[in-house]
A and B are shown apart, each in its own frame.
Chain A
Amino acid sequence: MTTLPAPLPTFDASTIRKRSGERNITLYAGLTLFALIVLAAVFAPLLTSADPLQQNLLQARLAPGSPGHLLGTDDLGRDVLSRILYGARVDLRVGVLAVVTPLVIGSILGLLCGWWGRWFDTIVMRLVDIVVAFPFYVLVIALVFALGQGTKSIYIAISAVGWVAYCRIVRGQVLVAKEQEYALAARASGLPTWRILLRHLLPNVILQAIVYAMSDIVLSILAIVTLSYLGLGVAPPSPEWGSMIAEGQNSLLTQWYLATIPGLCVVVVGLALALIADGLVNQFNKR
């Protein structure tokens, strides 16, 4: 018998943690930024005393920096800062919820399509083709129109259209992963199918879907902004970034900030999510 090798250098769990955790500034910058935005939305009442719905025509159209109104006031004298903060609650909630639902539905269907294939795959993929055949906004607007105005309709509409992307992404990844030897090894050791799917395949295929979800949150925030702009989104006078942009557009030449500030908010949220997505890719590519 050949002798076994001499013991390798000491190897402890802390080196593992250190190695996989270091130098992911992108991820932490994105998470920090997003956390700040979420905290600002959650603690809106503590950050501003102004009521986002309180009109005051005597104090209308104040410029940013006016006493008591850090970001000024709009046409009806409502405090812009407080409308931004309260609007974030609506936009973030819709953005995240309208992504989590399709992420979950699409991933489950994609996993099953990729694993089983056959008739199930054929049916689901044809359904995907049908949904993809329509432009995103045409379908979403038609669905919201049919379901009636409101955030609930927006969730449903975006979910009904959005799952296809996740389904396709996950299915494609599963098709690759299930021929990998670790999937074969899991099958060879006789593990139940649900466990192979959830423990071995899902963690390996979900990253792409999560990265896509990050940009998809921005898309769905843009969708609600667009829908509100078209008058199909959140009913006025509830504060919401899209309707703020729409209202601010009328006075773009005189009070440019009324449309620009909520627009910038969308950009900053997008930036935070893009950083998170990039950071996640970096994090997992190390493995």
Chain B
Amino acid sequence: MTAPAQSGPAAPVLEAVDLHVEIPLPMGQLKAVRGVSLSVGAGEAVGLVGESGCGKSITLRALLGLLPVPARVTGGALLLDGVDVLGMAERRRQRALTDAISMVFQDSLTALNPVMRVGDQIAEVPRRRLGMSKAEAHARAVDLMDQVGIPEPEQRYRAYPHQLSGGMRQRICIAIAMSTEPRVILADEPTTALDVTIQAQVLAVIDKLRVERELGLVLVSHDLAVVSQTCSRIYVMYAGRVVEAGQSLPLLTRSEHPYTDALLRSVPDPDATVERLASIPGQPPMLVDVPPGCAFAPRCTFARDVCTADPNPPELEPVSVGGSHTTACVRHQDIDLASGAVSAFVAEKEA
């Protein structure tokens, strides 16, 4: 696995600023995303982690401009090369976003059209949108299949999705995502549905393409191992907000938010002789009626009155002056989060 190479990203290709997404429900507005800011530069890999329902996938779909009905963006800005696309007319915005961004989904079986040959699915965009001839698009598709590591691409061109293995199907999905010649790839848990051995191969393919083509990669996962291997920066999300952000290594070794720390502790450590795996007590809050202050406070062992004193959720602030590591914990200077789980993690990462 290649190490995340770049450190200081250039101007971001895609940037979300204080993005809000709400879903109208009978019991009120569900605030799925509550002011998320994130950015990804060319050739940069960033991770978006958090437990189920924290707004990771909705954030991704908002970045792509394809929110499920009836969710909609209710605030913030979405910048593509510094230009806000949310102000554009719908057709133009969609065009701009789909030209620049592609997505790889979690379940490759549902992400492929079951009644269409996989090769045709890859060739479709070059043929329809890039104006290639049938033969050119075919050659292009075969070439892409080769690049994502599909053996005998010419033969497999004619296969239907159900005739390929999960790993092969996910490679096809990656080839489809690449067929639009995107600049940013959004990957929504691309390896969760795969065997562990296949996971590494698929991640390697994504990583190879990222480096070769200077792609921005936003990797959504709840698997910290996957994210830490692939990404140079990580955003930790909880209850629709980014609660901690920074370079992978400092964030994972010296996490400054109790939620990140709790996440790290709930990763099983093969060497530790604990009876039970650490878990986070309680449930994430319902996002219809969000509690005041820090949303994690009710589940946080370090919570004090100060955490919920301000009705507004705490903003991200730098851990050290001028640093890129930020946390939304108001008590981060008072608490010490050194944890055994973390050090095990680091040992694995450095190995």
Identity of the chain B residue whose Cβ is nearest the Cβ of A286 in the assembled complex: B162
* Known A200-B113, A287-B162: A189·B155 in contact at CB below 8 Å: no
Q: Judge whether A120 is part of the interface by a CB distance below 8 angstroms.
A: no
Q: What string of 1s and 0s marks CB contacts (under 8 Å) between B158-169 and chain A?
A: 111011010110
Closest residue of chain A to B125 (Cβ to Cβ) is A189
Contacts A4-B149, A13-B155, A16-B158; A191 near B204 (Cβ below 8 A)? no
Given A5-B149, A11-B152, A11-B156: A192 in contact with B128 (beta carbons within 8 A)? yes
A173 to B201, CA, bound (A): 35
List residues of A (170-185) whose CB comes within 8 Å of B's CBs. Answer: 179-182, 184-185
22 residue pairs A–B, Cβ–Cβ below 8 Å: A2-B1, A2-B201, A4-B201, A8-B168, A12-B155, A13-B155, A16-B163, A117-B69, A181-B110, A184-B105, A184-B111, A185-B105, A185-B111, A186-B113, A188-B64, A188-B66, A189-B124, A189-B177, A189-B180, A191-B124, A203-B115, A203-B116
**Which chain A residue lies CB-closest to B207?**
A1
Do A181 and B111 touch (CB < 8 A)? yes
The yes or no answer to A19 lying at the interface (CB within 8 A) is yes
Q: Residues of A contacting B113 with CB < 8 Å?
A: 182, 186, 199-200, 203-204
The distance in angstroms between the C-alpha atoms of A200 and B125, with both chains bound, is 13
Nearest CB of chain A from residue B205's CB, rounded to whole Å:
8
Which residues does chain B contribute within 8 Å of A1, judged by CB atoms?
1-2, 204, 207-208
Question: How far, in Å, is A97 (CB) from chain B's closest CB?
Answer: 27
A227 shortest CB reach to chain B, Å:
38
Q: Which of A180, A187, A192 contacts B66 (CB 8 A)?
A: A187
Q: Return the 10 tightest CB-CB contacts between A and B, nearest first.
A: A190-B98, A181-B111, A7-B151, A2-B204, A181-B105, A4-B149, A203-B115, A182-B113, A181-B110, A13-B158
A23 close to chain B: CB less than 8 A: no
A189, B115: Cβ atoms under 8 Å?
A: no
Given contacts A181-B110, A185-B176, 14 further A-B contacts (CB under 8 A): A1-B2, A2-B200, A4-B201, A4-B205, A8-B151, A20-B160, A189-B176, A189-B177, A190-B94, A190-B180, A195-B128, A199-B116, A199-B124, A203-B113
Contact residues in B for A13 (Cβ distance below 8 Å): 155, 158
Flag B92-129 by CB within 8 Å of A: 1 or 0 each: 00110011011101110011111110000000110011
Interface flag for A10 (CB, 8 Å): yes
B68 interface residue per 8 A CB criterion: yes
The complex places the Cα of A8 from the Cα of B159 at a distance, in Å, of 14
B119 to chain A, nearest CB (A): 11
> A3-27: which have CB < 8 Å to B?
4-5, 7-8, 10-13, 16, 19-20
How many residues of B sit at the interface, in one of the four size bands? 35 or more
| Residue among A2, A181, A287 making CB contact with B160, cutoff 8 Å | A287
Bound-state CA distance A284–B173 (Å) is 22
**A179 adjacent to B102 (CB under 8 Å):** no
With CB as the reference atom, state the residue of chain B lying closest to A207: B115
CB distance from A191 to the nearest CB of B (A): 6
Complex Cα spacing A199 to B176, Å = 16
Q: Are A287 and B180 in contact (CB under 8 A)?
A: no
| Residue in B closest to A17 when the chains form the complex, CB atoms | B158
Which positions 176-231 of chain B face chain A at CB distance < 8 Å?
A: 176-177, 179-180, 200-201, 204-205, 207-208
Bound form: Cα–Cα A187–B99 in Å: 11
* Residues B159 and A16 in contact, CB atoms below 8 Å apart: yes
Cross-chain contact of B111 among A7, A8, A182 (Cβ < 8 A):
A182
How far is B152's CA from A1's CA once the two chains are assembled, in angstroms? Answer: 21
Q: Once the chains bind, are B155 and A11 in contact (CB under 8 Å)?
A: yes
Q: Which of A106-126 contact B (CB under 8 A)?
A: 117
For residue A203, which residues in chain B have a CB less than 8 angstroms away from its CB? Answer: 113, 115-116
The minimal Cβ–Cβ distance linking A111 to chain B, given in whole angstroms, is 15
Asked if A287 and B152 make an inter-chain contact with CB atoms under 8 angstroms apart, the answer reads no
Cβ–Cβ contact A190 & B114, under 8 A: no
User: Are A7's CB and B152's CB within 8 A?
Assistant: yes
Contact A191 B176 (CB under 8 A): no
Q: Output the residue of B102, B113, B129, B208 with the most chain A CB within 10 A.
A: B113
Which single member of B68, B99, B156, B162 contacts A179 (CB below 8 Å)? B68
Check B129 against A181 for contact (C-beta < 8 Å): no
Q: Which residues of B contact A186 (CB under 8 A)?
A: 113
A181 to B167, CA, bound (A): 17
Residue of B nearest to A203 (CB): B115
